[in-house]
Amino acid sequence: SLAWVAALSRDYTWVEGVPFLSTTTGDLGALRDGFVVRDGDIVTVSYPKSGTTWILEIVHLVHTRGDPRWVQSVVSWERSPWLEKATGVGGINRQADPRFYTSHLPLHLFPTSLFTSKAKCVYVMRNPRDILVSGYHFWKTIKIAKYTESFEVYFEKFLQGEVPFGSWFDHVGGWLQMRGKENFLFISYEELHQDIRASVEQISRFLGTELNPEEVDSVLQHVTFQAMKENKMSNFSLLPDFLMDHSKGCLMRKGIAGDWRNHFTVAQTEAFDRVYREKMAGLPRGLFPWD
Ligand code: A3P
């Protein structure tokens, strides 16, 4: 509605120390306590810019056994609504089982019913340096996000967690507490790049939808960077103009691992490493392909 559009602003809403965009529901507490996760639900969770849309495309194509009609005819945010958006729960409740939904919520704000359910949850991770670069370019296009023309300023804001959905370190540190649970799959953007076939097979095993080699081939054909850049149902080109300034950039920007090397100065590289070492000190070694 118009009232809803008028309420959109670039200001963050802070909830329990986390800055949210104005499209996020006004009552995250009610969502956390009231939303009932079902055993059959398939939930994709990530920190923004981790490769969420890529994983969604794979999950949906695995579900249809490589048949592209669904991903080519329904926009990604209707195939898998954002749980925390004001309109999210309505969209989710209109789905038949299995329900698919997506979330950028940190663990401590996620509906608690997830933790006693058998819902399958895919958590997507990516080198935070590349997430920083991807977000710097992406938030400029989003009309309801704060942005800065200066990479130096954005770099500091990212390290302080003063970016949409808060600190990457807290997000990953929170969700990684779920590792080892059989209904959680932790997968990284870098693994997808390294071996996309093995990743698709891993996701299909996790979802309980074993595919034959021809079906895997079809999934692979439709999840290349080029195929997804051209799929208007997945490339955000249909995101309305009041939310996205399509003249300022696009979702499918570069699609590579390691682009941070083209952006960080030597001093920024060292500053990032210092914060990273300090914030990640509590986690075991070897969890991430970029370390
Ligand atoms: P870049 O900005 O580095 O290009 P999210 O969906 O979480 O917002 O993540 C978006 C990032 O994933 C963008 O990164 C985008 O290009 C990348 N991406 C999306 N689909 C991809 C694909 N099929 N192959 C490689 N990268 C992809």
Instruction: Give the residue numbers marked as catalytic.
Output: 104
Residue 134 above 50 pLDDT?
Answer: yes
Buried b (16+ CB within 10 A) or exposed e, 226-250: ebbbebebbbbbebeeebbeeeebb
Question: Could you give the 3-state DSSP secondary structure of residue 244?
Answer: strand
Q: What are the pocket residues of ligand 1 if the criterion is a CB atom closer than 6 Å to any ligand atom?
A: 46, 48-54, 130, 134, 137, 223-225, 228, 251-255, 259
The model's pLDDT over 25-70, given as tens digits with 9 standing for 90+, comes to 779 999 999 999 999 999 999 999 999 999 999 999 999 999 999 9
Q: Which of 21-30, 45-54, 75-84, 224-233 has the lowest mean pLDDT?
A: 21-30
Residue written as token pair 């009231």: 34
d(CA 147, CA 162): 11
**Ligand 1 pocket, mutate which of 21, 47, 53 (most atoms under 8 A from CB):** 53
Ligand 1, atom 2, residue with closest C-alpha: 134
1: pLDDT confidence band, cut at 50, 70 and 90?
A: very low
Global pTM?
0.96
Q: Parse the chain into domains and list their residue ranges.
A: 34-279
The model's pLDDT over 247-288, given as tens digits with 9 standing for 90+, comes to 999 999 999 999 999 999 999 999 999 999 999 999 998 999
The model's pLDDT over 160-203, given as tens digits with 9 standing for 90+, comes to 999 999 999 999 999 999 999 999 999 999 999 999 999 999 99
According to the model, what pLDDT value does residue 52 have?
A: 98
The dihedral through the CA atoms of 188, 191, 193, 196 has a sign that is negative
CATH architecture observed for domain 34-279: 3-Layer(aba) Sandwich (3.40)
d(CA 244, CA 250): 9
